[in-house]
Amino acid sequence: MAQCTLVSGSVALITLHSPPVNALSAVVRQGIVDTVGRALSDPKVKSVVICGQNGTFCGGADIKEFARPMSGPPLVPMIHAIEAGDKPVVAAIEGIAFGGGLELALGCHYRIAHAKSRLGLPEVSLGLLPAAGGSQRLPRLIGIPAALELITTGRHVTAAEALKLGMVDQVTEQNTVEAAVKFSQGVAGRSVDACRLSARPCPSPPDLDALFEEAMQRVRQSARGAIAPVACVQAVRAAATLPYLEGMEREKELMATLFNSGQARAMQYCFFAQRVVGKWTLPNGARWDTSKARHISKAAVIGLGTMGRGITVALAQTGVSVIAVETQERQLAEAKQAVSGMLERGAKRRGGASPLGLVHYSPHLQAAADVDLVIEAVFEDMALKKEIFHQLSAVCKPGTLLCTNTSGLDVDCLASKTKKPELVVGMHFFAPAHVMKLLEVVYGPRSSPEAVATAMQLGKRMGKVSVAVGNCPGFVGNRMLKPYMEQASFLLEEGATPELVDQVLEEFGFAMGVFKMSDLSGLDVGWRIRKEAGQTGPGVPSGQPMRVRQGRRYSPLADLICEQGRFGQKTGRGWYQYDKPGGQVASSDPWLHSFLEEYRAQNGLVARRINHQEVLERCLYTLINEGFRILEDGIAAMPQDIDAIYVFGYGWPRHRGGPMFYAGMVGLARVLEKLEHYHQVHPDVPYLEPSSLLRRLVASSSPPIQRWMQVNKMSQSQL
């Protein structure tokens, strides 16, 4: 709701009340319409100030209302009525003015912001555009280039930047409401004609066409198939080229298209998924007791390779003091330099002091004796990790939490090497660890709720999306990646090229196709693991062809190219060739194409034309199928966990909502039918066999994703 009080005898102070962020729900809108209407017609009132309770102006629309039929007064006429009034209306912005909140402020005649407030139009990140006049008023206030940038990226600005851009009239470090009241008294009685943004012409640079063309190109390139950023450019173009009212019509049309698109639904689902994974539900429906989380002020990182360096940086940037341990002298020296560089660049970007002093280096494990938590990031070698956990258990003080950054090894097995297995959990970061948002927190059967809660909480402090997952080879993300990569390799055997497969996946919206991604992460890592596990070389059992392992189809292509010393970007050759070792510019490699032809000839495989649909379905549906198995096995508590993992850690396009949400969009029956078809064609590929949860969901008329786990539970209890 919104309450109005008369202050200083002539100022109507309207306060939005709707915790936690004063979202513009139906009752709040009604409250604004009523109070503004009364204030404008009350002769005692000479000016109006709008503010939000509890130091927050307004977080924007109430997203929960998107799914329901519209009720209450609409936003556009409400804002228009404020702007059209004759008495000056001042927005007192504290905390945040986001989305509809900023649009409300743009409808006011003046804006006063607290120095610590942030302003922005983040609609694009929910698959929408600012459709309460934001796309028409902001360009009129700050010019087209700046408005285009803010609206197409959804970026927030600080009050200082807002002042520079001309978005606000004044920034204060004092009480914002008092400053706004005083300001409003100063302008009371003056004409507000010039302050109505809708009546202003849009400042038009001479090279308008070129500017929009360039913006459209930039947006199309980075949007990876998302339509909202494109619609945002079109809306701003309308502001620049049409009269205000026609621009508003265009804004409305574009919004309707976005609103009804599956993309907006997918992005809103992601928004809620990110929140629900933070609630840390367990597969059995229980929740971790967050109050049990311990505060971590001192941590150790063991192994300063790619991951250890990133983790050290992420911890120090969170204010945790770090003992960084590396046994190789050269690595240690290199790591010191790399970590310091990253910390300094980070501090420069953020504009704060570098937390360099928080990091101390040592070649000895003993240096970790008095830390609260250890994150081990040595080579992916079980024997080595076991030895380190055994030593850590002896070296560290009794309550120290011992975490591993393994990509998929058995966390419980490591726990068994320690005196207190309940204090062992996985903290699986993603490269580069100081940048990537995802953290899989792996709980073993013996991990204590306190240990898991602490790891989850620390992840959150580091700005990560922490997702609690069960312990199994590859956990959630990498376990699902395996069948996906396997299909990609089979497709090469059958006639596809890495270029074709990557093109299809990138057109779908992945940041990078599977082969480019493998080249980037290094092909040798998986190869070493397969070699150690005895999976490479001749077929198993012996006498079987190389392409068969225990009756299952196996593709040795990655092993064969590793044998040629082609490890990906790091060696300048992999599935592609690169400009130089370590280079990032991939180009087609004729060697690889003739290698594939020879391989097919040697193995009696006849290349066929493979269409885009088959590439997409085989790669994605096997990945999704494994997701269903993960839900069945209780490794993830709910589909939202899997989707958050893929969106935040694996470059899955947000506008497609994550793999499990996408399956629902495609239709579970269709996914099932396609898997059945491909499994019939390839009976020696178990990953193509539809999971029983998928079958049961289809048999239960494919309920919405929020009800999948009920179906899972019901059918499990009937077993």
The verdict on 326 binding ligand NAI (CB under 6 A) reads: yes
The verdict on 40 binding ligand NAI (CB under 6 A) reads: no
The verdict on 410 binding ligand NAI (CB under 6 A) reads: no
Q: Which of residues 431-460 bind ligand NAI (CB under 6 A)?
A: 431
Burial string for 54-91 (b: 16+ CB within 10 Å, else e) reads: eebbbbbbbeebeeeeeebbebbebbbbbbebebbbbb
Cis before residue 541, ω within 30 degrees of 0?
Answer: yes
Beta strand 577-578 pairing with 438-443 = unpaired
Q: Select 444 or 449, whichever has its Cβ closest to ligand NAI.
A: 444
Query: Could you tell me the smallest distance in angstroms from the CB atom of residue 334 to ligand NAI?
Result: 9
Q: How far apart are CA 480 and CA 630, in angstroms?
A: 9
Query: Using CB under 6 A, which of 302, 402, 688, 709 touches ligand NAI?
Result: 302
The DSSP call for residue 465 is E
- Pick the stretch among 245-253, 379-387, 595-603, 705-713 that binds ligand NAI (CB under 6 A): 379-387
Query: Could you tell me the smallest distance in angstroms from the CB atom of residue 358 to ligand NAI?
Result: 20
Q: Which residue out of 83, 123, 440, 486 is catalytically annotated?
A: 123
Q: How far apart are CA 144 and CA 137, in angstroms?
A: 10
Q: Select 147 or 442, whichever has its Cβ closest to ligand NAI.
A: 442
- Pick the stretch among 128-136, 322-330, 601-609, 625-633 that binds ligand NAI (CB under 6 A): 322-330
The verdict on 305 binding ligand NAI (CB under 6 A) reads: yes
- Pick the stretch among 255-263, 374-382, 623-631, 669-677 that binds ligand NAI (CB under 6 A): 374-382
Q: How far apart are CA 631 and CA 627, in angstroms?
A: 6
Query: Could you tell me the smallest distance in angstroms from the CB atom of residue 443 to ligand NAI?
Result: 17
Q: Select 328 or 611, whichever has its Cβ closest to ligand NAI.
A: 328
Q: Which residue out of 83, 94, 103, 380 is catalytically annotated?
A: 103
> What number of H helices and E strands is found in the chain?
28, 21
The verdict on 52 binding ligand NAI (CB under 6 A) reads: no
Q: Select 374 or 401, whichever has its Cβ closest to ligand NAI.
A: 374
Query: Could you tell me the smallest distance in angstroms from the CB atom of residue 556 to ligand NAI?
Result: 22
Give the list of residues 6+ apart from residue 131 with CB closer than 8 angstroms, or none: 76, 123, 251, 252, 254, 255
Q: How far apart are CA 651 and CA 510, in angstroms?
A: 6
Q: How far apart are CA 429 and CA 438, in angstroms?
A: 7
Q: Could you tell me how many residues of this chain bind ligand NAI (CB under 6 A)? A: 25
- Pick the stretch among 189-197, 323-331, 341-349, 495-503 that binds ligand NAI (CB under 6 A): 323-331
CB 22 within 8 A of CB 2: no
- Pick the stretch among 220-228, 259-267, 303-311, 487-495 that binds ligand NAI (CB under 6 A): 303-311
How far apart, in Å, are the Cα atoms of 507 and each of 219, 221, 504? 15, 11, 5
Query: Using CB under 6 A, which of 35, 56, 136, 406 touches ligand NAI?
Result: 406
Give the list of residues 6+ apart from residue 128 with CB closer than 8 angstroms, or none: 228, 255, 258, 259, 264
Query: Using CB under 6 A, which of 306, 340, 448, 535 touches ligand NAI?
Result: 306
Query: Using CB under 6 A, which of 110, 430, 510, 650 touches ligand NAI?
Result: 430
Query: Could you tell me the smallest distance in angstroms from the CB atom of residue 517 to ligand NAI?
Result: 11
Q: Select 86 or 329, whichever has its Cβ closest to ligand NAI.
A: 329
CB 426 within 8 A of CB 473: no
Q: Which residues pair with 439 in a beta bridge?
A: 429, 466
The DSSP call for residue 22 is T
Query: Using CB under 6 A, which of 135, 281, 405, 640 touches ligand NAI?
Result: 405
CB 450 within 8 A of CB 288: no
Please give the helix or strand (H or E) that residue 208 lies within, else none.
helix 208-223
The verdict on 468 binding ligand NAI (CB under 6 A) reads: no
CB 489 within 8 A of CB 555: yes
Query: Could you tell me the smallest distance in angstroms from the CB atom of residue 395 to ligand NAI?
Result: 12
Q: Which of residues 496-535 bind ligand NAI (CB under 6 A)?
A: 521
Angle at 575 between CA 498 and CA 485, to 5 degrees: 60
The verdict on 395 binding ligand NAI (CB under 6 A) reads: no
Query: Could you tell me the smallest distance in angstroms from the CB atom of residue 584 to ligand NAI?
Result: 16
Q: Select 305 or 539, whichever has its Cβ closest to ligand NAI.
A: 305
Q: How far apart are CA 409 and CA 384, in angstroms?
A: 12
Q: How far apart are CA 421 and CA 10, in angstroms?
A: 68
Residue 558: CA count within 13 A, CB half-sphere: 29
Q: Which of residues 73-132 bind ligand NAI (CB under 6 A)?
A: none
Query: Could you tell me the smallest distance in angstroms from the CB atom of residue 365 to ligand NAI?
Result: 6
The verdict on 63 binding ligand NAI (CB under 6 A) reads: no
Q: How far apart are CA 393 and CA 390, in angstroms?
A: 5
Residue with CB nearest ligand NAI? 305
Query: Could you tell me the smallest distance in angstroms from the CB atom of residue 327 to ligand NAI?
Result: 4
The verdict on 402 binding ligand NAI (CB under 6 A) reads: no
Q: How far apart are CA 528 and CA 536, in angstroms?
A: 9
Q: Select 242 or 338, whichever has its Cβ closest to ligand NAI.
A: 338
Q: Select 241 or 521, whichever has its Cβ closest to ligand NAI.
A: 521
123 included as an active-site residue: yes
The verdict on 366 binding ligand NAI (CB under 6 A) reads: no
Q: Which residues pair with 52 in a beta bridge?
A: 16
Query: Using CB under 6 A, which of 407, 487, 622, 640 touches ligand NAI?
Result: 407
The verdict on 323 binding ligand NAI (CB under 6 A) reads: no
- Pick the stretch among 51-59, 200-208, 426-434, 584-592 that binds ligand NAI (CB under 6 A): 426-434
Q: How far apart are CA 22 and CA 11, in angstroms?
A: 21
Query: Using CB under 6 A, which of 192, 307, 455, 644 touches ligand NAI?
Result: 307
First to last CA, the chain: 50
The verdict on 475 binding ligand NAI (CB under 6 A) reads: no
Per the listing, tokens 């949007």 go with: 223
| Centroid of chain to Cα 714 | 32
Query: Using CB under 6 A, which of 233, 254, 343, 388 touches ligand NAI?
Result: 388
What DSSP assignment string belongs to 503-568? HHHHHHT-SS-HHHHHHHH-HHHHHHHHHHTT-SSS-BSTTS-TTEETTEE---HHHHHHHTT--B
Q: Which of residues 198-237 bind ligand NAI (CB under 6 A)?
A: none
The verdict on 304 binding ligand NAI (CB under 6 A) reads: yes
Interacting residues toward ligand NAI by CB under 6 A: 302-308, 325-328, 331, 377-380, 384, 388, 405-407, 429-431, 521
Active site residues: 103, 123
